[in-house]
Every structure is written in structure tokens, then in C-alpha cells.
Amino acid sequence: MSPEIHIAILDDHQSIIDGYIFRLNQTPGINIVFTIRFGDELESMLVNHHVDVLLLDVQVPTAPDNANPYHILPLIPKLLQVHPDLHILVISMHNQPTLIKAVMDAGANGYLLKDDHAIIQELGNIVMSIAKGGIHLSQQAYQKLYKKLSKEPMLTARQLEVLSLCAAYPDETTAELAQRLEVANSTFRNLLSKAYITLGVRNRASAIIEARRMGLITPTENGPEF
């Protein structure tokens, strides 16, 4: 039996939280360990609870007596340094390309739009995929981000280095691979996520297969073993 996936939710609308709980409870193996509505509660809650996937809105109040937006973007890399096995899925109404790119650059594993009803219905399956290191974006978010990334080179040398490391050490976590590359865990995840998006895939194994097929990284002697 697969281990339970522990989920936490930060969103300031109780009706949204209730909707996520309803969707997630339909997927076996998911355990919601806490839900909160204010940003300044998050770090202490993560210290006291094991969490595999954090569902995160980008604009929540800081505290009950402080309606100013909690600063999520600079927090994401910090959380990933303190909790290297944490995966972050942002779910937001905001669809600005710059914001989507900033969230993914910070090290998030995905960006879903709240009005993407079809994808929200699949939230449990998406969370399970995220917990295994995959990425997921709403189609509209993907299109906006891909247009922004399409102006950049196909894959940077650093992204190819990351994929080569993944191919060489397929059983290691992103945190362990980041140590090999001597970069922050959030930086490694960002490089990997950008490679996924550019290659049109959602997980590490598929990225390695596609990069090998395109001749971007060295194939194994007997071909890919995935």
C-alpha cells in the first residue's frame, strides 16, 4: 500500500477550502492535515505537521488583524530550503504571465486557475502527481507561460545539466540532486520545471525520455529504462 499523502491548504475563503476538501476526499491515500486562512500561521504549522503538498493561494491576508497581502513569492524558496521534501501547488484567480512565471521561478510545482473547473475536478489526481515530483498547470496558465518561455533558448546549459543529473541518479530526490549541483533546492526545482514546460512533459522520467529522444542528453547504452 502506498503511503498517505499529507496535504495542507492556505486560502482565505472557507468556501474554497471546503471545495478542495470535498475534491481531495474523493481520492484514496490523501490526508488533509491542516487548513488555515492567514499567512502568518503557515510557517509554524509546517514545523509542527509533516506536509507533502501545500495548496497555496497567492493573495491571502497576513493575519486576522492585518488585511495586507501575505508575501508568498519570497516565502516559497524559504519554505523549500527548510522543508526540502515539500511540494507547492498554487491555485489562484490571477492569470498574469509575469505572476505565473514568478511563482514557478520561486520553485512551485504547479499553477492552477480557480475558474478552471475541469482541472479542479481532478484535484486529487493532480495532487498525487505533484507529490511524486510532477508539475501541473492549467492550460491557460501553460499557454501564457509557454509564450513567455518560447522566446528563450530551447533548453539552457544549466537545464541540460539538471536533466543529465536526473538521468544519472534516477532514485535521488530533488533535494539530493540540488546538493550535487550545489544549488538551492528551489533553484533546482525551478530549472527542472522550466525544462518540463519546454519539453511539454509533466514529470522527471518523461523529461529524460524526451531529452534523450531529441539527442539533448546522452542515451543509455541499451536505451531508456523507463
What confidence score (pLDDT) does residue 153 get? 57
What confidence score (pLDDT) does residue 223 get? 42
Q: Which CATH architecture has domain 157-213?
A: Orthogonal Bundle (1.10)
Please give, one letter per residue, the 3-state secondary structure of the chain. CCCCEEEEEECCCHHHHHHHHHHHCCCCCEEEEEEECCHHHHHHHHHHCCCCEEEECCCCEEECCEEEECCHHHHHHHHHHHCCCCEEEEEECCCCHHHHHHHHHHCCCEEEECCCHHHHHCHHHHHHHHHCCCCEECHHHHHHHHHHHCCCCCCCHHHHHHHHHHHHCCCCCHHHHHHHHCCCHHHHHHHHHHHHHHHCCCCHHHHHHHHHHCCCCCCCCCCCCC
Residue ranges of the domains in the chain? 5-149, 157-213
Please give, one letter per residue, the 3-state secondary structure of 114-178. CCCHHHHHCHHHHHHHHHCCCCEECHHHHHHHHHHHCCCCCCCHHHHHHHHHHHHCCCCCHHHHH
The residue with cell 493561494 is 57
One-letter amino acid at 6 equals H
Cα-flanking dihedrals φ and ψ of residue 90, to 5°?
-90, 135
User: Using CA atoms, how far apart are residues 96 and 201, in angstroms rounded to an integer?
Assistant: 22
How high is the mean pLDDT in each 10-residue block of the chain (226 residues)? 88 95 95 96 95 94 88 87 93 86 87 92 94 89 71 74 87 89 88 87 89 73 41
Instruction: Give the CATH fold of the 5-149 domain.
Output: Rossmann fold (3.40.50)
User: Using CA atoms, how far apart are residues 14 and 163, in angstroms rounded to an integer?
Assistant: 40
Q: Provide the whole-model pTM.
A: 0.76
